[in-house]
């Protein structure tokens, strides 16, 4: 089995390649690499998640940012305080470069989940590392809830065949509301709001 993109220090030979992605009128130039999720292109799930987002404000976290695509895109078109985090050091270097390439301001932090992240966020965005396993993903969901402001929202994308339905049921035990905002091409885009129901205090 090949090394996973959520390794801290990828051993795969670096093979950087540039890709372009147009988001809401802005053409972004993005570097990708081996050992980091979705080398050579913006993956379909992230593209659908980005397409589904409303205008964002406040503190925004791109959790498990990979090459930084989601955060760079939302930072380009919204006036936000952007943080991007990942455990993969090659991914973090790419994120730093992609912020600079596209003239976007953001803070990049090496963190396993929320271990190195301080404070609360108004919005958390993630294309979670499904291959890390359900236990890891569900821990991230719980930690995301605990790091949102009272009116905060978590947006995520997950493929139906990789457990979208069961993930939605679990999220409903954590959040006041969980909304399926889009469902296309086998992907579900979920919006989870902390307030408004059965979320734990």
What's the pLDDT score for residue 198?
Answer: 40
Residue 201 lies in a domain: no
What's the pLDDT score for residue 59?
Answer: 98
CA 9 to chain CA mean position, Å: 20
Residue 198 lies in a domain: no
Q: What is the 3-state secondary structure (H, E, C) of 73-118?
A: HHHHHCCEEEEEEECCHHHHHHHHHHHHHCCCCCEEEECCCCCCCC
Of 26, 22, 152, nearest to 77 (Cα)?
Answer: 26
What's the pLDDT score for residue 19?
Answer: 94
Residue 1 lies in a domain: no
Residue 137 lies in a domain: yes
What CATH number did the domain enclosing 60 receive? Answer: 3.40.50.150
**CA–CA dist 39, 52 (Å, integer):** 23
Range of the domain at 95: 17-193
Residue 42 lies in a domain: yes
Q: Tell me the mean pLDDT per 10 residues along the chain, length 201.
A: 49 80 97 75 92 98 96 98 95 96 98 96 94 90 97 96 94 97 96 69 34
Residue 31 lies in a domain: yes
Q: Are strands 148-159 and 187-193 parallel, antiparallel or unpaired?
A: antiparallel
What's the pLDDT score for residue 6?
Answer: 52
Residue 10 lies in a domain: no
Q: Total structural domains in the chain?
A: 1
What is the Rg, in whole angstroms, of the alpha carbon atoms belonging to the chain? Answer: 16
Residue 112 lies in a domain: yes
């Amino acid at each position: 089995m090949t090394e996973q993109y959520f390794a801290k220090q990828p051993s795969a030979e670096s093979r950087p390649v540039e890709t372009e992605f147009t988001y809401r009128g802005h053409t972004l130039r993005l570097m990708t690499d081996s050992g980091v999720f979705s080398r050579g292109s913006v993956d379909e799930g992230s593209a659908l998640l980005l397409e589904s987002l409303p205008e964002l404000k406040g503190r925004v976290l791109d959790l498990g940012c990979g090459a930084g695509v989601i955060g760079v895109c939302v930072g380009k078109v919204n006036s936000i305080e952007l943080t991007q985090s990942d455990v993969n050091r090659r991914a973090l270097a790419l994120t730093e470069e992609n912020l600079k390439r596209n003239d976007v301001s953001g803070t990049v932090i090496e963190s396993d989940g929320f271990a190195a992240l301080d404070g609360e966020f108004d919005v958390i965005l993630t294309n979670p590392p499904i291959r890390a396993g359900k236990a890891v993903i569900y821990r991230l969901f719980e930690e995301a809830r605990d790091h949102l402001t009272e009116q905060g929202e978590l947006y995520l994308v997950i493929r139906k065949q990789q457990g979208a339905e069961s993930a939605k049921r679990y999220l409903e035990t954590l959040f006041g509301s969980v909304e399926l905002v889009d469902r296309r091409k086998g992907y579900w885009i979920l919006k989870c709001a902390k307030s408004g129901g059965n979320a734990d205090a």
